[in-house]
Chain A
Amino acid sequence: MLLLAGCGRAQLQPAGPISDAERTILLDSVVIMLAIVVPTIFATLAVAWWYRSSNPRARRQPDFVYSGRVELIIWSIPALVIIFLGGIAWISSHDLDPAQPLPARTAPLDIQVVSLDWKWLFIYPKLGIASVNRLVVPAGVPLHLMLTSASVWNVFWIPQLGSMLYCMNGMADTLYLQADHPGVYRGESAMISGDGFADMHFNAEAVSQDQFDAWVASSRSSGPALDDAAYRDLLRQSVPAHPYTYSSVRAGLFADIVMLRLPPGEGPSGGVASVRPVGLQ
């Protein structure tokens, strides 16, 4: 049921402050540009039609080939629009810089995101647990995400929460997001990463603080431990059938991945990647 509620909602149905602000920027920019684009389209069609060679009423001006006044106007109109939009771009880029912490009374929740072939690993370093293909977060709490990849590039994206960002091997990107309300939000990879790419989506579930605490407790009490051996399993190319959790995480795992102290994803074995029929988990 939660799954259904999360379906089909995206950038234009924001569920957090970042996506909300980005939707405003997006819509404002479109409206500003439409103010010039729509008249231009109609003017083009109208001029072409009125000056059709068969129109006896059109006044022909075959020598009208230059006008300083017209040139001034047609350079100014797009220039002014771009100056205006450029200002919006400058200010909003700084306001919505992905690496900028969100103003909030509560301390942000740290989450380390690792993209693998072809699944997402979410490590909660302070809580000592990890989750595969399911991101559970408390609603109303800022999320401090560190992104990396253990193999090829991916793009971490939860459209309803906002800003996507690259996950790259050997690097860590910072991204702040927040879910304002409880709900299930679709997350995905926005960068081709091989044969299992289409299955690299997950649910981001925002729950109340109590539910979150309960989830943490239950995760701690069951499931395997994420040690080096378990991590090596993750490095193999595969699409997990179901999301699952790890009850504990080896300390410093994320740093070791980012600093390349652990080997990267194995890639296809034997030259051709074998992937089981996908899409029907």
Chain B
Amino acid sequence: MTLLGKLTWQAIPLQEPLPLYSGLAVVVIMLAVAAWVLAKGYLPYLWREWITSVDHKRIGVMYCILAGVMLLRGFIDAIMMRTQQAMAYNAPGFLPPSHFDQVFSAHGTIMIFFVAMPFVIGLMNVVVPLQLGVRDVAFPTLNSVSFWLTAAGALLVNLSLVIGQFDRTGWLPYPPLSELRYSPGVGVDYYCWALQISGIGTLMTGINFVTTILKLRAPGMHYTRMPMFCWTALASNLLIVAAFPVLTATLAMLLLDRYVGFHFFTDTGGGNSMMFMNLIWAWGHPEVYILALPAFGIYSEVVSTFSNKPLFGYRSMIYATMAICIISFMVWLHHFFTMGAGADVNSIFGIASMIIAVPTGVKIFNWLFTMYGGYVRFSTPMLWSIGFIVTFAIGGMTGVLLAVPPADFQLHNSLFLVAHFHNVIIGAVLFGVFAGYIYWFPKAFGFTLDERLGKWAFWLWLIGFWVAWGPGYVVGLEGMTRRLQHYDVAEWRPWLLVAEAGVFIILLGIIAQIAQIVVSVRTREQRRDVTGDPWDGRNLEWSTASPPPSFNFAVLPDVTDQEPYWDMKARAREIGQLTRPEPQYEPIHMPRNTPTGFVTAFFAVITGFALIWHIWWLVLLGLLGAYATFVVFAWRDHDEELIPAEEVARLDRANRAARAAALAHRQLRRESQLESRE
């Protein structure tokens, strides 16, 4: 069987019904969806408009869909873990260690790399070019490649359900446990190759967005006029560019250890396993802020819009953002105070970590003062934001506590630590992307989401989170370490049962979110966003139609202030008509759609799969295919499409008409209000 490398029939977990059936269920669902798409004849549409699209908005939407689907997968893992720990008091539970270890490793890997990352990057894709007042990102095709490589990584992780097994060493594979001697299976290889492939995609996203934000902005959009979300996106992408190569290099060293007998991290061969921990956290800590900073940007947009006020202390927020961006690179050692470094090293890194709390605290106070004196509307994005501030204040506090080395000596790797990072990842990042996705959904799809179900989802998530992770803090203080497949301490049991209840409350929240989408799609005609500005927004994304035309802006806006669209609106209300006369429409060049991204990712999956199973001829074939795709793309003759001036005019006139009508309607209402007051 050398033709197929290490791949044999034993790779299919026939003797383990749980992963087999769940994997098969996923395969069946995927095939059913594919069959439905084919039967309905949607394939050409999907191929033309989505799969080959290089439109940043479409790519952003696909990122968010990927994140949503992976959230379900990661959440099923969460239910399994909570259920295992609820059952396994003096009992083996329903998951043997070999399976339980895969579940927690997959949960962490999926939630960070294939839920939080794509969700954040997806929202940046949809929003940043619109906020900057430009037509697309700097490298549209590269953007498509980035997305499809991320999807390729996600596919590989899920493939391990059915063929072989996943990593059993945790979401960060520390050697020596992840070295060949202790993890001879393909689990670590699945992990590494999936992340290498998606990591390249993420790095290219970082390059793309840094270039876009630095080099492509509407005329007059100075740095100190950029919306806060663009600032946080810039900080986040700078961190990606600086940190992701570290991850790639670290995993490459681990792979060299595993594949060709290098000794970067094998202690017995003269390597040093501590180096892995340093390197992985040199990426890992900035990663936290890669996720959190854009979420802070979303809250800034939401709190300002729903308080009808500009963001308070805008420049102070920029300083805070960039301070976090820089300091986040200098604190990685706080992930292993218990490794035995001296007191000087520990306390310096501890204090550096605490310093991050200063700009973060400033942000919270600035949001508070943004609400102060405003007109606060409790729409769902605002509810998520307030829920975030309350939840994150606690999560931030426990984080600072963990930065005190002697406290960490008693909390490290306990459930207290796990509760802390769920508190910040769920409470800050996930709440943030939920706020952002409800906030920008009408922009992407042209209709708003159901508020009633949205509020149900918010309360269920908020309560569910605290019921699930409040007990984590308690059992952590009762000495419970993370990743226990079973235990014999009676005091932990009641809390783990409460946590189990919490995870099901969150499940209800997720069901409410799915229902929200279904109901909203069915009633979309009643909830059309005609004007393109459903929330009375302040930045340029709301000045376009919903959904925006492929070219975003018929004429690039001229930015004269920090809140260009709000000023435009204010003036229009003053003079009672649209501020700008109809412009001279000109044809617009837009990049042409291309299957490059999809085809590259297809070959990347083949290469990754072949590398995992040591099928060397297939590796060669996959790499050749990917290279050929690149060559074909590089030699293309025709890479742009012309949108004729008439088409531009037609789309823009429709938008102008809708806005003029809304303005007239508003004017009429104001006049009648004045009359009735008289």
0/1 interface trace, chain A 2-25, chain B, CB 8 Å (1 if under): 000001111110000001011101
With the chains together, A260 CA to B272 CA distance in Å? 13
Cβ contact of A70, chosen from B313, B314, B377, cutoff 8 A: B313
B109 contact set on A, CB distance < 8 A: none
A48 contact set on B, CB distance < 8 A: 371, 376, 378, 386
Cβ contact of A166, chosen from B177, B340, B374, B389, cutoff 8 A: B340
CB–CB A198/B487 < 8 A:
yes
- Give the residues from 353 to 387 in chain B that come closer than 8 angstroms, CB to CB, to chain A: 354-355, 357-358, 360-362, 364-369, 371-378, 386
A62 contact set on B, CB distance < 8 A: 308-309, 373-375
CB–CB B98/A195 < 8 A:
yes
Decide yes or no: A271 and B357 within 8 Å by CB, A60-B375, A64-B312, A98-B409 being known contacts: no
CB–CB A51/B351 < 8 A:
no
Interface size class of B (residues with CB under 8 A): 35 or more
- Give the residues from 155 to 202 in chain A that come closer than 8 angstroms, CB to CB, to chain B: 155, 157, 159-160, 162-166, 168-171, 173-174, 186, 188-198, 201
CB–CB A195/B410 < 8 A:
no
Nearest to A96 among chain B residues (CB) is B406
CB–CB B413/A279 < 8 A:
no
Q: Does B543 contact A (CB under 8 A)?
A: no
With the chains together, A267 CA to B411 CA distance in Å? 29
Q: Does B181 contact A (CB under 8 A)?
A: yes
Q: Does A41 contact B (CB under 8 A)?
A: yes
With the chains together, A82 CA to B357 CA distance in Å? 8
CB–CB B312/A26 < 8 A:
no
With the chains together, A190 CA to B176 CA distance in Å? 16
What is the CB-to-nearest-CB distance from A1 to chain B, in angstroms, rounded to a whole number?
15
Q: Does B24 contact A (CB under 8 A)?
A: no
B420 contact set on A, CB distance < 8 A: none
A100 contact set on B, CB distance < 8 A: 343
- Give the residues from 632 to 662 in chain B that come closer than 8 angstroms, CB to CB, to chain A: none
- Give the residues from 463 to 491 in chain B that come closer than 8 angstroms, CB to CB, to chain A: 477-479, 481-491
CB–CB A159/B338 < 8 A:
no
What is the CB-to-nearest-CB distance from A194 to chain B, in angstroms, rounded to a whole number?
6
- Give the residues from 257 to 281 in chain A that come closer than 8 angstroms, CB to CB, to chain B: 260, 263-265, 267-268, 271-273, 275, 277-280
B489 contact set on A, CB distance < 8 A: 7-8, 186
With the chains together, A98 CA to B339 CA distance in Å? 10
CB–CB A37/B405 < 8 A:
no
B340 contact set on A, CB distance < 8 A: 98-99, 165-166, 173-174
0/1 interface trace, chain B 176-216, chain A, CB 8 Å (1 if under): 11000110110000000000000000000000000000000
Among the 9-residue stretches B148-156, B238-246, B396-404, the one with 4 or more Cβ atoms under 8 Å from chain A is B396-404
B312 contact set on A, CB distance < 8 A: 64-66, 70
Cβ contact of A93, chosen from B268, B405, B488, cutoff 8 A: B405
CB–CB A33/B397 < 8 A:
yes
Count residues on chain A whose CB falls below 8 Å from chain B CBs.
Answer: 105
CB–CB B479/A77 < 8 A:
no
Q: Does A74 contact B (CB under 8 A)?
A: yes
Q: Does A94 contact B (CB under 8 A)?
A: yes
Nearest to B355 among chain A residues (CB) is A82
B377 contact set on A, CB distance < 8 A: 52-53
Q: Does B56 contact A (CB under 8 A)?
A: no
Nearest to B306 among chain A residues (CB) is A53
Q: Among B168, B365, B403, which residue has the most Cβ atoms of chain A within 10 A?
A: B365
A168 contact set on B, CB distance < 8 A: 267, 273-274, 339
What is the CB-to-nearest-CB distance from B289 to chain A, in angstroms, rounded to a whole number?
17
Among the 9-residue stretches A84-92, A210-218, A224-232, the one with 4 or more Cβ atoms under 8 Å from chain B is A84-92
What is the CB-to-nearest-CB distance from A76 to chain B, in angstroms, rounded to a whole number?
9
With the chains together, A162 CA to B364 CA distance in Å? 35
CB–CB B350/A93 < 8 A:
yes
Decide yes or no: A82 and B358 within 8 Å by CB, A152-B176, A159-B479 being known contacts: yes
CB–CB A37/B394 < 8 A:
yes
What is the CB-to-nearest-CB distance from B227 to chain A, in angstroms, rounded to a whole number?
14
Nearest to A93 among chain B residues (CB) is B347
Q: Does A44 contact B (CB under 8 A)?
A: yes
CB–CB A280/B176 < 8 A:
no
CB–CB A169/B485 < 8 A:
no
Q: Does B101 contact A (CB under 8 A)?
A: yes
Q: Does A241 contact B (CB under 8 A)?
A: no
With the chains together, A279 CA to B100 CA distance in Å? 14
CB–CB B309/A279 < 8 A:
no
Q: Does B672 contact A (CB under 8 A)?
A: no
A195 contact set on B, CB distance < 8 A: 97-98, 101, 168
B98 contact set on A, CB distance < 8 A: 195, 272-273, 275
Nearest to A99 among chain B residues (CB) is B340
CB–CB A78/B358 < 8 A:
yes
A198 contact set on B, CB distance < 8 A: 97, 484-487
Nearest to B170 among chain A residues (CB) is A192
CB–CB A197/B390 < 8 A:
no
B182 contact set on A, CB distance < 8 A: 151-152, 194, 265, 267-268
Q: Among A30, A90, A277, A280, which residue has the most Cβ atoms of chain B within 10 A?
A: A90
With the chains together, A21 CA to B485 CA distance in Å? 31
B177 contact set on A, CB distance < 8 A: 152-153, 192-194
- Give the residues from 212 to 269 in chain B that come closer than 8 angstroms, CB to CB, to chain A: 267-268
Q: Does B579 contact A (CB under 8 A)?
A: no
Cβ contact of B351, chosen from A11, A86, A260, A278, cutoff 8 A: A86
CB–CB A275/B97 < 8 A:
yes
Among the 9-residue stretches B87-95, B132-140, B497-505, the one with 4 or more Cβ atoms under 8 Å from chain A is B87-95
CB–CB B316/A190 < 8 A:
no
- Give the residues from 541 to 598 in chain B that come closer than 8 angstroms, CB to CB, to chain A: none
Cβ contact of A52, chosen from B181, B267, B378, cutoff 8 A: B378
What is the CB-to-nearest-CB distance from A273 to chain B, in angstroms, rounded to a whole number?
7
With the chains together, A163 CA to B404 CA distance in Å? 13
Q: Write 17 A-B pairs (CB below 8 A) sorted by A numbering.
A: A22-B409, A33-B397, A48-B386, A74-B361, A94-B347, A97-B343, A153-B174, A155-B481, A163-B338, A165-B339, A170-B268, A197-B485, A263-B268, A265-B182, A279-B90, A279-B91, A279-B488
9 tightest CB-CB pairs across the interface, nearest first?
A61-B373, A10-B479, A78-B361, A8-B491, A159-B479, A93-B347, A74-B365, A170-B267, A190-B413
A75-B316, A89-B404, A275-B98 given; name 7 further pairs at CB < 8 Å: A19-B410, A75-B362, A93-B347, A165-B409, A191-B413, A194-B97, A264-B268
